[in-house]
Structure 1
Amino acid sequence: MSARGSAPLQRIEELAETSGATVRNIRVYQERGLLQPPIRQGRTALYGPDHRSRLDLILRLLNRGYTFATIEELLIAERHGFTLAELLEVESVRGERRPSGSRRRLTRAESQAVASFDMPEELIDVGESLGLITEPGAADHFFSDVYMADLLRDLIVLGVDEEGIEKIGRLFMEGQSRAAEAFTVLVETVRGAGMDQAVFEKRVRSILPRAGAAARLIFLSAAETLLTERHGFSRG
């Protein structure tokens, strides 16, 4: 870890005093992997500017109401190439969606305006099977939200043609649909507990955010491995 300029290293007590954190909490952040290990000089543990910057970030996120688990997810995803600003924006939008469960949907016409070509029928069929289209056969709401449209736009800018869009879309959606089958194991396990149906449904749905976060991190790790091992990319 590099020290920035001539900024002095600090003992944990000094870091706590200057940051407004407590020594105990700093140690907790380290134990949870949120804060980097200290610099060792003999038997003395010291902290530099990078530690202070990370600690300030952790404290800001905690003040915004983020849990340790969410902060850990953000920091891991940051290492996969996302900026924290992008991730916080996504988390903010996700938080706004939770109360109503509604999503900003794009019509098929809006999606095609982005693409400048008709959506491949096979891609529409897959989207319909996943419930991304509100009424079977209508194809009124193909994309579930603006993030999918943004991805489509980026792919087109990079030069992916209609056939490539269809392949990418099918792989993405079929893969996620297959992964969602894992909930069958959960449902079959919990259903046998004999709890009230409303409680049962609430318990199962409570796992969705965590499962979504895990799926995203698994995808990022798998994509990074594929790019480096199959296509010769440098490790990000």
Structure 2
Amino acid sequence: MTSAGGGQEQRIEELADEAGTTVRNIRLYQERGLLQPPVRRGRTGFYGPAHKQRLALILRLLDRGYTFATIEELLIAQRHGLTLTQLLEVESVRADRRTAGPRRRRLPKAGVEAVTGFELPEELLDRGTAIGLVSEFSSADHFLADDYMFKLFRELIMLGVDEDGLDRIGTMFMEGQSMAAQAITVLVETLRDSGVSQAVIEKRVTGILPGAGAAARVIFLSAVQTLLTEKHGFRKA
């Protein structure tokens, strides 16, 4: 079958046979975000020349001993035209983050652009500042120093989300976190109205935060699953 661009399309079995790998491996590479999903026509997926080239690259890198994680980083660098130095700088921040505990660390000179490939909007950085994610006002260098944000943006980029999409997702994420954090104000004000001292309030509020964070995560995942099922036709988990 010939694609609109003139390239030959293949089913997954044909692609695997020609590349010298297995269908299971191809599906694994897709699950890892290394290989783009096929073009669906009905219940059948078709793979074009771009899939074939990417698969060949993945297999060459694996044959040379690269891990999936390293291949992920190399593909991000390729997509956004990053230099090897920039890529290594970002990786060093991740290593520092793992060994330094929860303390935020400053990204290298490449800053946020070494991860996203573009400059984040001021409005998004302002929202990050408002909830303490950014340690300096409108400082893009600090935005992804938080490991969770780094991983979130990295995964979105690997999935092919463009600059506008990342901006929208980031904005909604920040607004949601800011709104949720305001709920703690009710607890603080209730305790103050009851005449509880500042020291006791701080102790009680700090003690409740881990449980509140876990509850917020469960609520978020439940709401997302409902949205995916009802609006997007996902199967119930």
- TM-score, normalised by the number of residues in structure 1: 0.54
In structure 2, the CA distance between the partners of 1:155 and 1:172, relative to structure 1 (3 Å rule), is: same
Match of 1:176 in 2: 177
Distance in 2, Cα, partners of 1:174 & 1:107: 27
SS at match of 1:207: helix
Matched, 1:185 2:180: no
Higher relative contact order (CA 8 A, sep 6+): 1
Q: Deviations over 1:109-149 (max 9, x none)?
A: 34321111112232112212222221224444113511211
In structure 2, the CA distance between the partners of 1:104 and 1:135, relative to structure 1 (3 Å rule), is: closer
Distance in 1, Cα, partners of 2:167 & 2:176: 14
Q: Deviations over 1:197-230 (max 9, x none)?
A: 2222111111111111000000000000000100
Matched, 1:152 2:162: no
Residue correspondence of structure 1 range 94-133 to structure 2 within 5 A = 97=101, 102-104=103-105, 106=107, 109-133=110-134
Residue correspondence of structure 1 range 1-236 to structure 2 within 5 A = 97=101, 102-104=103-105, 106=107, 109-143=110-144, 145-236=146-237
Superposed displacement of residue 106, structure 1 = 4.2
Distance in 1, Cα, partners of 2:222 & 2:202: 31
Q: Is the 8 A contact 1:107 1:141 kept in 2?
A: no
Distance in 1, Cα, partners of 2:152 & 2:196: 41
Distance in 2, Cα, partners of 1:105 & 1:147: 15
In structure 2, the CA distance between the partners of 1:157 and 1:149, relative to structure 1 (3 Å rule), is: same
Distance in 2, Cα, partners of 1:214 & 1:108: 37
Structure 2's unaligned 5+ residue stretches are 1-96
AA aligned to 1:190 is L
Match of 2:69 in 1: none
Superposed displacement of residue 105, structure 1 = 5.6
Q: Is the 8 A contact 1:108 1:142 kept in 2?
A: no
In structure 2, the CA distance between the partners of 1:172 and 1:138, relative to structure 1 (3 Å rule), is: closer
SS at match of 1:195: coil
SS at match of 2:196: coil
Q: Is the 8 A contact 1:126 1:174 kept in 2?
A: yes
AA aligned to 1:127 is G
Q: Is the 8 A contact 2:111 2:140 kept in 1?
A: no
Aligned residues: 140
AA aligned to 2:160 is G
AA aligned to 1:189 is T
Q: Is the 8 A contact 1:155 1:165 kept in 2?
A: yes
RMSD: 2.4
Q: Is the 8 A contact 2:112 2:141 kept in 1?
A: no
- TM-score, normalised by the number of residues in structure 2: 0.53
Q: Deviations over 1:60-105 (max 9, x none)?
A: xxxxxxxxxxxxxxxxxxxxxxxxxxxxxxxxx99x84xxx62456
Q: Is the 8 A contact 2:106 2:141 kept in 1?
A: no
